[in-house]
Structures are given as structure tokens and as C-alpha cells.
Chain A
Amino acid sequence: MLPSHPEPAKTGSGLGGAAISRGFLIAVVVGYLLVLLAGPLVAIVLEAFDQGLAPLWAALTQPDVLHAFEMTLWISLAAVLLCTLFGTVVAFVLVRQRFIGRAFLNGLVDLPFAVSPVVAGLMYILLFGQQGWFEPWLEAAGIKVIFNWPGMVLATTFVAIPFVIRELMPVLQAVGLDQEQAAHTLGASRWTTFWRVTLPSVKWGLFYGIVLTFARAMGEFGAVLVVSGGISGRTETATLFIFRALDERQQVAGTGVALVMAAFSFSILIVMELLKSRTQEAAQ
């Protein structure tokens, strides 16, 4: 489901010997990339620094902004925890076990990719909001899911479910059973086998999945917008803050936070690329 990770070319030749058409193609592609990616990035840098460094720093260190970053971080960590723990179990079950309904379960894993973030938020409102399926029990227990952080964690977890599973499965498959079976023969318990044999051999794939999950969770917007109510200082994540700040004419704060998130995405990208090459090395 997730696109794979190839390396750039090692060959130099290409379509048509003519250097002109080669140069032209490269120019077209690079140009497209520039217009699509670089232009907007430059614009946002300029906008954030519009009034200079000091106002930007002041805007970024406001209590609201710091709290929003905190919320984003905790919610993302919670989502990563849930997705990794359960994702590993699901991947393991799907690869190592055979049972009726396995294909169906496998298909389920891809569903979050097909769901729009607003629909993800709607789902949880329909379950936990007024007139929701679980509302009577929650009301009795005094638990608030919607307009509160549990709803946001749930929604963020949902959108990120497939990543760990889909990264782990092929690696688990490739690694095969030999080592595990060897460990069993030598008398290792199930847990020891998993911890000392299986996990280390799939670790790069697992890390890559975790990083993807983290990136996805940090950037989540639509689902948390619907589920949280955007209560500043309480249920506002970084993305929700940006949305609100732009409405409040806090142009510098809004674009500043957006820039921070963009910079963060770049670092995630670097980590992703490093992990990709490790995964490939490990596969060889």
C-alpha cells in the first residue's frame, strides 16, 4: 500500500542520446519541483520573518503557542505508542498466523488511508458525542471524549494506524521463521524469542514505520479540528493554533508556527531517508 523506497539512478544514460532532450527533461522536472515545493516554502519563510526575528520569537514563545506545541507532542506520542504496540501485534498476527478472516483483517488495515480526516473526526463524534453510541455510558462515568484530549488521541491514532503495520509486515515476511524456530529449539520462551530475535531483525522497518506514524500524527488537522472544539489553551494543537491565529490576524504567529512545523517535517524527512537506506542495507 505504501509506495516503496528506491534509490536514485546509478546509470547515466537515458532516453535519446541527445543531451538537449535529456537536459530539457531534467529541467522540466526540476522546474516543476521548484514551483510546487520551493516557491511556497520561500514565501512562508519570508512571511514569518516579515517583522524580523524578535517579534517572531516573541510570538512563538507565547503561552498559547507553547501549550499548543505541548498538546501536539503528547497527543502524537500517545498515538505513536498505541499504533506501535497494537500495530506490531497486528503485523505479527497477519504475517505469522493463518486463520479464516485473515484477508478481511488485512484489508481493514488499509481503510484509514481511504478515510478523509473530517470523516475520521465525524466518526468519533457519532460514537462519543451527544446522541452518540457510547454516550450514555460515558455520561454516567463522567468521561469526556469529545472536546477533550481522549477524542483527539483516538482520532490521531486512527489516521496513523496503517503505517507501522504496513512497514513491519514485509520485513517480518522477509525475515522468515528460521531464526525464530532456531531459538525455540534452543529452548527460548515466546517472549524472549520476540524480544531478542524477531524485533532486532525488523528494527529498521519498525523505526521507519514509527517515524512515519509520528510525522502523520504531528501534522494531523482535520480530525482533531472536528473532535476538539478548538478550545485555546486546552485542546488546541499546533495545527489548530495556526488555523485560529490566521483568523485572529496573528499573521506572524500563525506563519511562524507553520514554519516551525515545516522545519520539523524536513528533519523528519532526513530521519526517514536515513532509515530507508538502513532498511535497504539490512535487506542485503
Chain B
Amino acid sequence: MRMKGRIRRGKEWFLSVVILVLALNSVCVAASENPTLVLGGFTTPREAYGKAIIPAFQSYWKTKTGQNVMFQESYLGSGAQARAIISGFEADVAALSLEGDIDKIAEAGLIKHDWKGNAKKAMVSRSIVVFAVRKGNPKGIHDWADLSKQGIQILTPNPKTSGGAMWNVNALYGAALRGQVKGVAKGDATAARQFLRDVFKNVTVMDKGARESITNFERGVGDVAITYENEVLVGRQAGQTYDYVVPRSTILIENPVAIVDKWAEKHKTRELAQAFVEFLWTPEAQRMFAKYGLRSIDPAVEKETTKLFPPVEDLWTIEYLGGWPAVSKNIFGPQGVYIQVMAELRR
């Protein structure tokens, strides 16, 4: 009995060590055989990249060079992803929700080229801020002002980690300042701030990212989710049956893409990364973005797909609020409107 036990244990040790070594080997070997591109994206275009654009690029690259490109993808809240990339997540390409997050990566020294330098200013896709509501819109939410009604439960992500969350706050605050919210006079910053506060008083859950927020909404939580239009469209494609409301005035969301020099140089994948980023602007890729709910930056594709996307009465951009640097300071900075409102709400 003892002999058997000892031999068995010895065998177990040996086997474990062998397995471990083999496993480590296989992981390393797999990584080195094919060229690999690492993509760090925000939560929303998961399907667009994962199901359509990446496979299309893989076949395009295979035809062009005969190589099988492997992709490693990670999708996190835009801010969280930016920080991950800065902290050592070796993404060759960053596809984030807002300029400001890519600026953070550039400021940390990981992007050395002028990433906004091209004609399209590095934007690859667009969307707008909308409201996802229950089928039939039982609570009658038709515009921004309805969000501050008593008893409405709102879902919106956490601006600390989510780019979508920041777009939501900007849209809310901006619409109020533009006089597009009933009960808030145009240009009245105090009233707009009060409106921000009234809305956030109704927020019940603040998830890490836009995707987590909408999936929570799908689980039955809350009456309305402030989200990207494309989240709603993708959700519908996945079988969800909620309605969505386009407010009269909303912000144009523009999502940038950039090659992260530090990691691309380290992996020697610059050429590949460049090809991938350029692929994103081809009509083929733009149509795929549209298929997954993202408005195109290509005027031709936009005209083609215009039926998929409702028009917006008052569509404005981040420039109205002074651009991302001003927004980072005035709305989300330590003395920013949003931060102060949240601090007040906690008391």
C-alpha cells in the first residue's frame, strides 16, 4: 500500500511537471508561429470587430501576403482600457471611445506620432447618445426632461472607467445648455447643473462600461438606459426587444483609432498595424461598422446606410463644449460640474 502510494505520488509529480512544461511550451510556440496583432478596444464595438471586421481583415491579409494573422482582443471601458495600455497591456492598436482617452496614451509617451494628423482625424466610427426604454415605452420617456421625473430609474455607466458614460454626461449637460431641455433656459449653467443633478439622482446602477450597462438593462433593471445608439442596435440584433428614443438634441459621438507605437515597435508589427488601421477606413469595413449599428464617417457609406439611422434634429459635437481638454477639466475635473454634482448627491 505504501509502495503503491509513493509510486503514485511520484508519478503525479512527474506528470504535473511534464504537463506544465508542455503547456508553457505550447503557449509560447503558438504565440510565435503566426504574426499576431493585439487590439485594445472599448466595450461597444465588440461584435463589429470580433465578428466582422477582424475576419474580413484576416482574409484580406491572407490574400495579400499569404500570412495568417492572429488577433488578440480585449474590450474594456474606454478609460479603463487606456489605463491598461499605459500600465503594460501591450495593445498594438487602440480603438477607444473618445479622443481624450487616446490623448492619455499619447501623453504617457506610448504614442509618438501625430495620431490625429490624417484627413479623418483618426475617427473610424460615429454614434449618438440615445435612450433605451422598455418595449412600448411605458414610462413615456420622450426627451431629456423626462429623465428627471420622479421615480424613473436610470442606468448609465461610470465616467471613471467608461467613455460612453462621459459622452452621456456631455450630451445631457450640452443639451441643457443649448436650451433643448424643457425647463432649462438656454445658456443657463446653473440650471443645467441642477438638471444634471436631478437626472443623476435617478441613476440606480453605474456599470464599468457601456456594454455592461445595457446588459443590465436587458436583465430587467431600470426603466431607461442612456447609451450609445449602436449598443441598442446590436442588442436588437441579439434578439432584445426594447425600443429606443432619440432625443431632439444629442451629441455626435466620434470614436478614434490609433497605433500604439511603443507596443507595435516592440512586437515589430507596425506594418501590420498600419494596414489594419487603414483597413478600417475602407468602404468594406465602414459598411461592417454600419451593420453593427455604428454610423459611418465615410460620406458615401453614410448615404447608403442612412435608412438604418434615424435623423437628429439638433446634432452637435464636443466642440460645442470646448473640445475634450475643456470637458476633461470643466466637467470631469476635480472641480468639474459632474464631480461636484455627484459629491452633493452623496450627502
Contact = CB atoms under 8 A, between A and B. Distances in A.
Contacts of B9: 199, 203
Given A147-B89, A195-B6, A199-B6, A234 B72 contact: yes
Nearest to B240: A249
A51 to B, nearest CB: 11
Interface string A184-211: 0000000000011001100100000000
A10 B86 CA distance: 62
B233 to A, nearest CB: 13
Contacts of B32: none
Interface residues of B, number: 32
Given A149-B27, A200-B6, A81 B211 contact: no
A218 B275 CA distance: 40
A249 B87 contact: no
Contacts of B5: 200, 203
Given A231-B74, A232-B74, A74 B87 contact: no
A31 interface: no
Interface string A210-234: 0000000000000000000111111
A230 B211 contact: no
A102 interface: no
- Residue from A125, A129, A147, A196 with most neighbouring chain B CB atoms (10 Å): A147
A146 interface: yes
**Chain A interface category by residue count:** 20 to 34
A236 B9 CA distance: 30
A79 to B, nearest CB: 11
B303 interface: no
A281 interface: no
B218 A77 contact: no
A233 B39 CA distance: 12
A199 B235 CA distance: 57
Contact of A232 (B24, B72, B240): B72
Contact of B90 (A144, A195, A199): A144
Contacts of B46: 248
Nearest to A234: B72
Contact of B84 (A147, A232, A233, A246): A147
B202 to A, nearest CB: 24
A135 to B, nearest CB: 8
- Residue from A125, A199, A232, A246 with most neighbouring chain B CB atoms (10 Å): A232
Contact of A81 (B20, B27, B88, B218): B20
Nearest to B43: A247
B20 A129 contact: no
Contact of A130 (B16, B19, B72, B88): B88
A230 B74 CA distance: 7
Contact of A77 (B20, B27, B74, B238): B20
Contacts of A248: 46, 211, 215
B103 interface: no
B73 A232 contact: yes
Contact of B88 (A70, A129, A196, A233): A129
B16 A77 contact: yes
B300 interface: no
Nearest to B10: A195
A66 interface: no
Interface string A93-116: 000000000000000000000000
Contacts of B87: 125, 129-130, 146
Contacts of A41: none
B86 A130 contact: yes
A74 B238 CA distance: 33
A45 interface: no
A125 B88 CA distance: 10
Interface in A113-152: 125, 129-130, 144, 146-147, 149
B345 to A, nearest CB: 25
Interface of B: 2, 5-6, 9, 16-17, 19-20, 23-24, 27, 38, 43, 46, 72-74, 76, 84, 86-90, 209, 211-212, 215, 218, 235, 238, 240
Given A200-B2, A247-B212, 16 more contacts: A74-B19, A74-B20, A77-B19, A81-B16, A81-B20, A130-B88, A144-B88, A147-B90, A196-B6, A200-B5, A231-B38, A232-B72, A247-B209, A247-B211, A249-B238, A249-B240
Closest 9 CB pairs of A and B: A74-B23, A231-B74, A229-B89, A130-B87, A147-B89, A249-B238, A200-B2, A234-B72, A129-B87
